[in-house]
Structure 1
């Protein structure tokens, strides 16, 4: 299949979020080579049209870079694709590769490939173009059993505190949690994957440590794999989760508000907040994603998701109040609305084609953000949309892998749908 050749080419070009220029140039070139009219915008979105299309295929071209990424060394074991020591970027490189194959086959097609989806759906939120088609088929899902017709809202929450310091001579240690499983903070939040920042904060509080510095996390939509602190302490020793290295006696500046910082992190409830048993979906969740510190302030970034706008507002309210108790200020950014499930005629057509190759396929909603949800909300529901995709496991982590046969199935579904709507 050409899909895998295109994906391999994508993997050769660095495309971490915010570092996508080279891949954008390649995709624009590819579209023009296949006689599409192409427009780009200030957000890096690629909008391409050929003929008189009835369907817009949509995906995003940035990836979450973890481990050795963007230097991707592909591994094909015959059943799965993965990358050695890094995230793979099948989310959403495989979707882009499927679109590329369809662009080479069809004369009536619209394509929207958005940018910087993994850092707050920035491309989809910024897109101001006009879609010619009234049907959007998004290829950013990760379960071949699903025809996704709804997704979660999301918001980035930043809690920051000014630092005051005390200079003292004391025993200093470097304390680190590293190499954890990690994973997608929406789709995999229900798995109770350990959070490196939470583990580290608990250890430091239990050992009455004073902070010198604290950092951790990789991306706002990933469960943290690594966290590190330099602290003043007494007789600290490693355990199976925490590595301790003595730096000897030193003169350092410790944070006078160490206790309240650690108390805030430890009081925060990581993960699922509510779950709907009747439909088997997480309703509300929040991930403690990243901690950064400079000379004057410490900032903690959270990412909250909800299947309703009301649930998102409640998560914001809860986090604001907890942060206020610990003396943190809070701001909210990159907020998106929930995409409420609607069973459209277009979704029924997609499900029908899916069932021809997968009898277990059904309409579902996903506890993650999808670009088509943003596009529908902005178009005031004048568009019909759904999302499909192959089986991808542990996205946003070094354990990410994509099932080869599943890619072949989804590619066939997309091709059949385009034939039907041509």
Structure 2
């Protein structure tokens, strides 16, 4: 384990972990990156979006990574406390009770060391990738290199040559609020024990979605006479939800049936991974209810998870990531966000049209946000060389198209003459508190990166 603790990229990554940098909260890390780059003799340029371009010499290769992270945890200060662990003879880095930020902090660490050691190199640090590829969408920086190596992949066995596009459907509806006139017992039902995960690379694993599982409970309770008070959940639009909360008022005449449902779900009746906690709450005078039926129909009929697969690999998927509720006067405002991904643009477009038509027929206002096309494979000198070098250090390496979003597709539209490839170490369960970095794979990734830099004349 000590050899990994002394590994220089790990030391730099641990420095990055100490700087909070959740999406939209990245200014301090940005300033730290600029200070380091200037210390290493790089010319630094920034655009109005917050992207940072660092250049030395006459680069043929640009390294690219994003400097925001998906923070999942309970700390209001977005604290990350890394810890080294061993399991089955292998070493990992994870975090205590939060996501780690190896996505994409390990790339930042290697990029900064490359800026220190190389004479001809470009490094592009993009902002807010995890919340809709904002930096890539709004970039205005003048890149010099003809090749770009994205360092945001999460499997050491893969040299990524294409990736999925994505989109968000933001759905809103106002419901009249109603007084609770009956003598009711108020219960709050919260999910617990859900594991979450990345809504792209883990969407095929059948990970339970906390919002959808609690919606099934809500439907059963409503059918037995319960009244909905509040329903919300999710953490990030691009992660499978871990948390969801439902508050209901149960009239006396429906108590027995509702209690039977609640007893079943709190005793693991829906499976070991699907658990709920029920807490009794006081019935406050200001508490109101609303007709939740259209909301439940909308989200339970969503095509959630893998929609289309090819050779067992997902090529079209959807994930309900966020559900929010707000009381506005005499109205209850409901909003939910569905993120879709597709490796074929025609499939994405067809699914958008289908879901939009269905949700609008229910009365929801539906807006398409953050649409970006897939990155399609192209042959290039970069791709050939990266694959050859990767296979030298890891015989299992192969070309792969992934069902996750990378900035390559958007950047390709911005810089059509640049050729792209993507690599990275093994990062399991990103965007969740179970995120782990495989340390041996990180060492291998660094060796591959060093050889690619040499091949393209960076030193």
For 1:274, the equivalent position in structure 2 comes to 308
Partners of 2:46 and 2:141 within 8 A in 1:
no
Give the corresponding residue for 1:362. 398
- The answer as to 2:330 corresponding to 1:295 is no
* 1:332 corresponds to: 368
Q: Deviation of residue 305 (structure 1)?
A: 0.5
SS in 2 for 1:198: helix
* Alignment correspondent of 2:194: 180
* Structure 1 segment 20-419 matched on structure 2, within 5 A: 20-68=26-74, 70-77=78-85, 79-169=91-181, 170-208=184-222, 209-233=226-250, 234-235=254-255, 236=259, 237-238=262-263, 239=266, 240=268, 241-251=275-285, 253-277=287-311, 280-296=312-328, 297-380=333-416, 382-419=417-454
Describe the SS at the equivalent of 1:359: coil
* TM-superposed deviation, 1:156: 1.0
Q: 1:60-116 CA distances to partner (integer Å, 9 max, x unpaired)? A: 010000014521111112500000111000000001111112111101100101010
1:61, 1:302 → 2: CA distance? 24
Cα distance in 1 between the residues matched to 2:372 and 2:192: 31
SS of structure 1 residue aligned to 2:247: strand
Query: What is the CA distance between 1:172 and its match in structure 2?
Result: 1.4
8 Å CA contact retained: 1:91, 1:140? yes
How many equivalent pairs are there? 419
In structure 2, relative to structure 1, the CA distance for the partners of 1:417 and 1:249 (3 Å cut) is closer
**CA displacement at 1:258 relative to structure 2:** 1.1
Secondary structure at 1:130 match in 2: coil
More moved, 400-409 vs 63-72: 63-72
Q: 1:212 to 1:68 in 2, by over 3 A?
A: closer
Moved more, 40-49 or 167-176: 167-176
Q: Secondary structure at the match of 1:52?
A: coil
SS in 1 for 2:180: strand
Paired with 2:141 and 2:244, the residues of 1 have a C-alpha distance of 41
Q: SS of the residue aligned with 1:15?
A: coil
1:236-294 CA-to-partner distances (Å, cap 9, x unmatched) read 334232222122555454443311111212222310000011xx421100100001111
What's the CA shift string for 1:299-320, capped at 9, x where partnerless? 0111110002212212211221
Q: For the residues of structure 2 that align with 1:413 and 1:318, how far apart are their CA atoms?
A: 43
TM-score (norm 1): 0.96
Q: Is the 8 A contact 1:141 1:390 kept in 2?
A: yes
1:171 deviates by: 2.1
Query: What is the TM-score when the length of structure 2 is the normalising length?
Result: 0.89
208-217 or 390-399, which moves further after superposition? Answer: 208-217
How far apart, CA to CA, are the structure 2 residues paired with 1:249 and 1:347? Answer: 63
Q: Could you tell me how far apart the structure 2 residues matched to 1:226 and 1:326 are?
A: 26
Is 169-178 or 217-226 further displaced after alignment? 169-178
Stretches of structure 2 lacking an aligned partner (at least 5 in a row): 1-6, 269-274
CA distance in 1, matches of 2:411, 2:280: 52
Which secondary structure state, in structure 1, belongs to the residue aligned with residue 371 of structure 2? strand
